[in-house]
Amino acid sequence: MRAAERLVEALKKRNFKISGAESCTGGKVAAALTSVSGVSSFFEESFVVYSERTKMKNIGVSSGIIEKYGVVSPECAAEMAEKTAEKTGADIAFGVTGIAGPTGAEPGKPVGTVCFGVSIRGRTGSTVRYFSGNRESVRDQAVEFLLNWMVGLLEA
């Protein structure tokens, strides 16, 4: 079973609503979820917030988080998830931000750095992963990782 299908099953078992905020994945997580029949009972909305400005304006990421840690940080990803959950009322919300490449690397943040945040009913966690490959490969790996991580969190 695909990761998106497993996540939809986990949402169904708990009757949880999900929403998200994506940056480097550009809507690919939402696309993976909406490829599963019946997901409309659990998924209502998602945001693609690619720039610093839209992260702050559309979902409420604080300028302080961005100034202190940067947009590619677990702190920013966690706040993306928390603010999305608050804005949408979802039981589980995710945030994903990173550097898909081939440009954009920063000191300590090479191409392939992707940060994830997940907020489940007010409890938020974050993590960082480093993927390799071209831009599409990094984005696809990020989507797969995030879907599987959320399944694991819901099934724990």
Q: Reply yes or no on whether the pLDDT at 104 is more than 70.
A: yes
Q: How confident is the model at residue 84 (pLDDT cuts 50, 70, 90)?
A: very high
Kindly give the pairing relationship between strand 123-130 and strand 113-120.
antiparallel
| Per-state percent for the chain, helix, strand, coil, to nearest 5 | 45, 25, 30
DSSP 3-state of 36? coil
Could you give the percent of the chain with pLDDT greater than 90?
97
Q: Reply yes or no on whether the pLDDT at 36 is more than 70.
A: yes
Domain ranges, ordered by start, for the chain:
3-155
DSSP 39: G
Q: How confident is the model at residue 1 (pLDDT cuts 50, 70, 90)?
A: low
Please give the CATH number for the structural domain made up of 3-155. Answer: 3.90.950.20
d(CA 85, CA 121): 8
* pLDDT tens track for 107-139: 999 999 999 999 999 999 999 999 999 999 999
